[in-house]
Amino acid sequence: MKVVANGLLEKISGPADLKKLSIEQLSDLAQELREAICKQVSTSGGHLAPNLGVVELTIALHYVFDFAHDRLLFDVGHQCYTHKLLTGRQPLLSKLRQKNGMAGFPEPRESHYDLFSVGHAGTSVATGVGMARADSLMGQGDRCVVSLVGDSSIVNGVSLEGLNNAGTLNRQFLVVLNDNGMSIAKPEGAVSKYLDQVRVNKAFGDLKKNTKRLLSEIPMGNQLERLYERAGGAIRGALHPHHLFSEFGLVCVGPMDGHDLPALIQMFEQAKNFDRPLLIHCKTIKGKGFDFSTKDPTTFHSPSPFEVERGKVEWKKKGRSFTAAFGDALTSTMQKDERVVAVTAAMPDGTGLSKVSPHFPKRVFDTGLCESHAMDMCAGMAKVGIKPFFAVYSTFVQRALDQVFQEVALQSLPVRVCLDRAGYVGSDGAVHHGFMDLNLFKPFPGIVMLAPSDEPNLIAALEFMRMYDSGASFMRYPRDEVPSHPISEDVPPFQLGKAHLVRRASSEKPDLAILAYGTEVYEALKALQNMGSEASNVALYDARFAKPIDVDLVTRLVRSETPILTIEENMVSGGFGSSVLEALNSRNLPTNSVHLMGMPERWVYQNSRAGQLAEVGLDAAGIEQKVRSLMVQIQRPRRKQVKRDFRVIEAQS
């Protein structure tokens, strides 16, 4: 990747340095930023195309506003690299998305220029409305508030609720709509069709002649007309009275070219002084700057490391992901059962459904970034007798919690939910971990929660879900590769609430029984293998179900005085192990020989996934350590043949 020699970027240690440049120099700076970003992402992976699309928008915003004082809110936030490089974080770039490096999303711990750590879409308007109201209450209404929102985020329910409220503000509030005509994949939904058809108004300096007349014909026209008189020439010239969002009470201008730096700067200058909510619709090109990324912005949305050799992109080899395994397994399921359909909320690639849709174009539905709607749509489908499989990230299904409550669980509808990226997600960091899906969905009567430990189990789990019609079922799997050598290629079918013994202890009376949920089965197996004969008398179960848990098994183990270790990649509080405690307690059985491992109650920031598992002791090494300490603890009283009572237990602690 060639780097331009101007050296403008390296001189910018904060927005003040940016403001010293002439408007002409800004184009060169944009080019330098693009090359720096592309060079880094090609080395480490990261979000590429979204960042390339907003270089000019970000430069222009920082050129016009002062975000040490004013408020800049990112939405989703995977387009914040230029912003970070302009606000003093060039030294962190070489460790993009790595431990102690530059987070891939806005991160207030890094800089006060980042207001919220975000990664979920649609929040910037709503938080911006809050900041605007609070600034005004605090007598600092002169601070401008700017939300930078993508065209896919804007159709999310939270955005739309935010716009409805923004429309009532009696003060400055600027929404910059970054419309690249692309969600993460090609977007779905009527609004995106609408935005596609709105043409760029290149010559927005020329007053559109009929604007005033049109203003008087629409319901809120009088109000708009008054605002029109107060607006600067650029705003008046680009006014779009029939824009979708005008009817939400915002003054709407554009669309304008989101790469035209002088025009953007002129528009933002006027927007800064406009005392009512304003939406500037900017058309941008996702991936702008490089042929390979503009041609295929979906692939280059968030690529893994790559090289560009003579215009051809080379990818570093990777193993087979759970996502890919799921895509293939679901394709088979759909071949077998014509009632099965697949649903995604704007993540066909991330969830593996892009492997499915070529086979079944009419049975794969993309709702756009609308998780709440997607869950309800699935409920409606299930009501009719269709079998919807909603593939969604664990962290994003949080947006559909209430829909799972009312439209799915309360109706006992057999919606199937496949939670990708459950557990630690690596470099995306704290905004994306799937750390609490068990907590969220366990409370609902009749819901089944299961997890495969490897690809053969994923196939078996999916078959269980296809056949399970009594209520909703939730399967979870991590952002990881499937074990390349599964314990067995031919696993027994999933049976409701039954664990599966994967490694027998050497005697009838095991020293310890491990119940691992999901891929922790393999971490536990590695730990036991590393321990060799020391651990030969430890049994290992693939728990398979976190709800209902295998009560017979845990009861039997406790009654036979076999200590239990539960391991899961969910919060330890309120997760699978906690259900084991509750089940034993409610049966008046003791829990002192039950030990829980899971995700601790703290935020875990960007790092590799392996690094994160190690950080919290959920890798093979951490499990080995835990098993060793338990063996000491367990064997000591047993050797002494001491009756267990309160005092003995205290002494152990």
Contacting its own copies within 96-115 (CB under 8 A): 108, 115
Q: Are 71 and 145 in contact (CB under 8 A)?
A: yes
Closest distance to its own copies from the beta carbon of 506 (Å):
23
Q: 538 to 597, contacts with its own copies by CB under 8 A?
A: 558-559, 561, 571-574, 578-579, 581-582, 585-592, 594-596
DSSP SS3 for 283: strand
Alpha-carbon span 581 to 221, nearest angstrom: 63
CB 566 within 8 A of CB 576: yes
Closest separation between CB of residue 493 and its own copies, Å? 26
315 near its own copies, rule: CB under 8 A: no
The verdict on 385 binding its own copies (CB under 8 A) reads: yes
CB atoms within 10 A of CB 504: 12
What is the CA angle 20-22-23, rounded to 5? Answer: 130
User: Which of the following is catalytic: 399, 421, 476, 609?
Assistant: 399
Concatenated DSSP letters of 570-623: EESTTSHHHHHHHHHHHTT---TTEEEEEE-SS---SS-HHHHHHHTT-SHHHH
478 part of the interface to its own copies, by CB under 8 A: no
244 binds its own copies (CB under 8 A): yes
The count of other CB atoms within 10 Å of the CB of residue 507 is 10
Q: Does 201 engage in binding with its own copies (CB under 8 A)?
A: no
Distance (Å, whole) CA 412 – CA 382: 10
371 is catalytic: yes
Beta carbon nearer to its own copies, 194 or 315 = 194
Task: Return the residue of 38, 146, 166, 184 that touches its own copies, per CB under 8 A.
Answer: 166
Stretch that binds its own copies, among 82-90, 160-168, 264-272, 450-458 (CB under 8 A): 160-168
Copy the structure tokens of residue 152: 């896919």
Q: Which of 14, 88, 130, 486 binds its own copies (CB under 8 A)?
A: 130
Catalytic residue list contains 628? no
d(CA 95, CA 41): 10
Q: Is 520 an annotated catalytic residue? A: no
Please report how close the Cβ of residue 7 comes to its own copies at its closest, in angstroms.
Answer: 36
Annotated catalytic residue within 32, 56, 371, 407: 371
Figure out which of the listed residues 129, 224, 263, 546 binds its own copies, where binding follows CB under 8 A. 129
Contacting range for its own copies; rule: CB under 8 A; set: 256-264, 288-296, 312-320, 399-407: 399-407
- If one asks whether residue 200 binds its own copies (CB under 8 A), the answer comes out as no
497 C-beta neighbours (distance < 10 Å), count: 17
Minimal CA–CA distance to 393: which of 415, 372, 378, 371?
371
Instruction: Out of 32, 70, 75, 376, name the contact with its own copies by CB under 8 A.
Output: 376
Q: Which of 155, 238, 516, 631 binds its own copies (CB under 8 A)?
A: 155
| Cβ burial, residue 573 (10 Å; 0-12/13-18/19+) | middle
CB of residue 605 vs its own copies: minimum separation in angstroms? Answer: 11
Nearest residue to 65 via CA among 203, 285, 264, 278: 264
For its own copies, which is the closer residue by CB, 116 or 290?
116
Q: Of these residues, 286, 355, 466, 609, which one is catalytic?
A: 286
Is 293:287 a contact under the CB 8 Å cutoff?
yes
Using alpha carbons, select from 438, 617, 409, 389 the residue that is nearest to residue 545: 438
Identify the residue among 250, 278, 417, 458 touching its own copies (CB under 8 A): 250
Residue 163 is a binding residue for its own copies (CB under 8 A): yes
Residues catalogued as catalytic = 286, 371, 399
